[in-house]
Amino acid sequence: MGDFGLELNDDQKGVRDWVHGFAADVMRPAAAEWDEREETPWPVIQEAAKIGLYSMDFYAQAFFDPTGLGIPVAMEELFWGDAGIGLSIVGTTLAAVGVLANGTEEQIGTWVPQMFGTADDVKVAAFCSSEPDAGSDVSAMRTRAVYDEAKDEWVLNGTKTWATNGGIANVHVVVAVVDSELGARGQASFIVPPGTPGLSQGQKFKKHGIRASHTAEVVLGQVRVPGSCLLGGKEKLEERLARAREKQRAGGERIKNAAMATFEASRPAVGAQAVGIARAAYEVALDYAKTRVQFGRPIIDNQGVAFTLADMRTRIDAARLLVWRASWMATAGKPFTAAEGSMSKLYAGETAKWVTASAMQILGGNGFTREYPVERMHRDAAIYTIFEGTSEIQRLVIARTISGLPIR
């Protein structure tokens, strides 16, 4: 376990500068084009793969940083470059986290490498949890997984929505109900291998922001996967379901389900992405305010502009500190007794929205045009109070944790 500190070590600084260089030299010049095209930026992903940035090894190295800061430092720099392309590069990691959080060592070793492919043949993966009628309310999930004991196969049926890389992924990780009487506690995660019959892409969404990231429905019709594709294995599932039934009879504590375990593990990283977007917008606004002359002086000479920039920087630094604390706690095995993971995602997401809106205001009419990147950053930031748990859900998680009460 690494000691917590606010000064990055030389290795972390080296990674930060390396990722920053890729973001500045490769991502930023391509950002506007891929935002307009609303397509997956495969050439950029391949460039990232060629230098080892899009690879299982890189994310494993960052994930196992003993201080916990490897992932948030890398995420901030990538999303400083561009959020849409950044999400295309890191979207696979949510599926990988789903396997790491719930799978066996054999499953991790088998499937995570296939999620990334190779530098010459890049692949992506998708984590499929949300449904048309089950977003924040995971207990309303309708996708079912039924075990065919004669063939040792699971049969999946249902429709998933808002899936990053959905339908174009090499590997899909799907959360499904295995015991409907247990609600959210009766769910499990499954690997759907490449080319499995019955899985198809539904509607591809045209989005307000993060438009270079592919988001679509995933339709599952009589999808059969081997028994070995149940993450964690059947024995572990049966033990967990038995405990859930006992808790249900006793009216006891909640048991985390597969989707929530994945989101809980990823929230500080998502917060770091929001920090990167906010920092990028702040830097544009600061430079603009120092060079834009009105009434014979730079607009930063006006307190209204200067104080806004001061608040922007303060909120960004505060958000980063919350993200770093939660990331360190998770790596150190310290429990989130006050929902610190949710705190980090909540504050960082709200900060990104406010900072990018403030940047547009400082740029005035220029901020509203596509000649400057802040309007794109503002559109991209909007999703960070919505996906992987809305701000309202984060507040609910925090309130329940600090009060110990089942607040609704």
The catalytic residues are 388
| Pick from 256, 98, 287: nearest CA to 186 | 256
For residues 187 and 259, give the distance between their C-alpha atoms in angstroms, rounded to a whole number: 8
Residues in Cβ contact with 34 at an 8 Å cutoff, skipping those fewer than 6 apart: 41, 44, 82, 84, 85, 211, 212
Q: Could you give the dihedral angle defined by the CA atoms of residues 243, 249, 250 and 253, in that order, rounded to the nearest 10 degrees?
A: 50
155 close to 222: Cβ distance less than 8 angstroms: yes
Structure tokens at 330: 């998770």
Of 300, 312, 314, whose CA–CA distance to 356 is shortest? 312
Q: At what angle do helices 374-381 and 340-363 cross, to 10 degrees?
A: 150
Q: Are strands 293-294 and 144-148 parallel, antiparallel or unpaired?
A: unpaired
State how far the Cα of 177 lies from the Cα of 156, in Å rounded to an integer: 9
Q: Would you list the DSSP string of 358-407?
A: HHHHHHGGGGGSTTSTHHHHHHHHGGGGTTTS-HHHHHHHHHHHHH-S--
End-to-end CA, the chain: 37
**In this structure, what are the phi and psi dihedrals at residue 155, rounded to the nearest 5 degrees?**
-110, 120
The number of helices, as runs of H, and strands, as runs of E, in the chain is 13, 9
Cβ-based neighbours of 295, under 8 Å, separated by 6 or more:
none
